[in-house]
Amino acid sequence: MEGILKKKISILRGFEDKWFKLTEDGFLEYYEIKPSIISQDTDIPANQIPSYVSGFGMKEGGLFSRRWDRRYFVLSDCGFQYYTSETETTPQRTVSIEEIKGVANANGYRDKQSVFQLVTKHRTFFIEVETPSDLEKWTKELSCCLQKREQLWLNPDVRVMKGKIYIVLASLAPDKDDCTFRIITNSGETHILRRDRMMIETIMHSINHHPLFINKSDFALNCFNGAVVLSKWKQRPCPMERV
C-alpha cells in the first residue's frame, strides 16, 4: 500500500508532502519527486511554454502591499509560474504543484470580480483574471493538476527514495495535537507524520483496542487513501545498528 502523508522536516520547513510506501518486510519508505521533473527550459518565452492554461491577470502584492500588478501566468508541468510579460523567458516566481495546498473561487475579494485564491505552504495568492470563463478555466485546471499529482507519484521513474522507517518494532504516539502522530523506531529515531483528525483517532483507537495486539510495539501501520488498516507482522530481528 502507498500514498501521500505529510512528514515534518524541521521547525522552519514544517510539514511537506511525501509519498509513503509500506513494504512487506516491515519498512515505511518515503519518496520525493525528482528535481528534474519540475525543471524548466529558460530559453522559451512564457507564451510559448506548453501549458494547461495561461494568460494575463492581476496579482495582489505581498504581505505589506495591496497593489495589484499585471502579470502573465502559466500553469504547466513546471508548476504555477508568473512573468512580468508574455515574452519573458525567466519567471518572476515558480510554485511547484507539490507546494500548492488548494485553489478556490474568491469572487468579491476587495470588491473585485473573477478572482481565485491559490493557497501554498508559505503564502496565499489572490489573482484576478479577465473574465468569468477564465476564472472557471483556471480553477478547473489547477484542481485537475492537484488530482493528477498522486498519479505522478505512482510512476517509479519520477521519484527518488529519501529514507525508510523500520516499523515492525516501532511505537506510535500522538504529537501535540490530534492531527499529528509520531513513530519512534527501535533505534530511537522519531518521525512525525500528519493526517486528518478522524484518521489519527482511528489509528489510536485501533492500537488500544484491537484484540490481536498484545504488545503495542508489534504492529505495522497502513493509513493511506482515507483508510486505516493495522497489520500483524511476523516477528523479525531488528536490523543491525551502526555503532
**Would you kindly state where each structural domain of the chain is located, as residue ranges?**
2-26+167-231, 37-149
Give the pLDDT score at 232: 33
Give the pLDDT score at 230: 33
- CATH top-level class for 2-26+167-231? mainly beta
Q: What is the mean pLDDT of each run of 10 residues along the chain (243 residues)?
A: 81 82 82 64 83 95 83 91 94 87 91 92 91 95 85 80 82 71 84 69 47 39 36 34 33
Amino acid at 110: R
Give the pLDDT score at 122: 81
> Residue 175: helix, strand or coil by DSSP?
strand
Tell me which architecture the domain covering 37-149 has in CATH. Roll (2.30)
Using DSSP bridges, classify how beta strands 220-222 and 190-194 pair: parallel, antiparallel or unpaired: unpaired
E strands of 68-149, at which residues?
Answer: 68-76, 79-83, 93-95, 100-105, 115-120, 124-129
Give the pLDDT score at 33: 76
Give the pLDDT score at 197: 59
What grid cell was written down for 34? Answer: 525528482
Dihedral class, residue 225 (left if φ above 0, else alpha if ψ from -120 to 50, else beta): left
What grid cell was written down for 65? Answer: 502591499
